[in-house]
Amino acid sequence: MLVVVADTHAREESKLRGRTLDAVREAETVIHAGDFYREPVLDAFESTARSLRPVYGNNDDAAIRDRVPEVRTVEYAGTRFAVTHRHRSGDTGLMMLGRGRDADVVVCGHSHRPRFDDSGDLPILNPGSHAQPRGNRPAHAELEPANDGDDGSAAAGLVGRLVTPDGDVFERFQI
């Protein structure tokens, strides 16, 4: 499983709880789309996740910016993700970034609003914020290889869901 989180905005801890904590512990790979806020939070994620693939956000301190990139590419189960915190040109800029990295999906944070939007050239996934939702539903994203069903063979792509820390799945999507 791939787990995507963003916008923790904490000083000392990951603020992971409930299903979000379990998902981060269970995941093969965790993407954090920026705004840890302070370096001890990055350290907490690194000690919790098996494989953390972070980028820094606009509110991250210099110590975090020294350790992680602003943009990165992550591959999981044959799907290529372009990851950044935000793009000043909005969704158009995010899609241009994704195309420039030959990505199948763009992952971003910043708005604290969980969403999956596949209406443009490339799907955009924002997991929202598990810790500081700012009027939105607290959330993270979970993605797994699609399964054809009866014979157990894998289908192309991934199935995903947006999930609250309480474990409520409120949106499902496919890539």
Yes or no: say if 146 and 156 are a contact pair by the CB < 8 Å rule: yes
To the nearest whole number, what is the mean pLDDT of the chain? 95
Give the angle 164-31-43 at the CA atoms, nearest 5°: 95
**Could you read off the pLDDT of 108-161 as tens digits, one per residue?**
999 999 999 999 999 999 999 999 999 999 999 999 999 865 555 556 799 999
- 68 vs 55: CA distance, rounded Å: 6
pLDDT for residue 153: 52
- 5 vs 63: CA distance, rounded Å: 20
- 62 vs 159: CA distance, rounded Å: 35
| pTM of this structure | 0.95
**Could you read off the pLDDT of 89-101 as tens digits, one per residue?**
999 999 999 999 9
Ordered structural domains, the chain, with CATH: 2-174 (3.60.21.10)
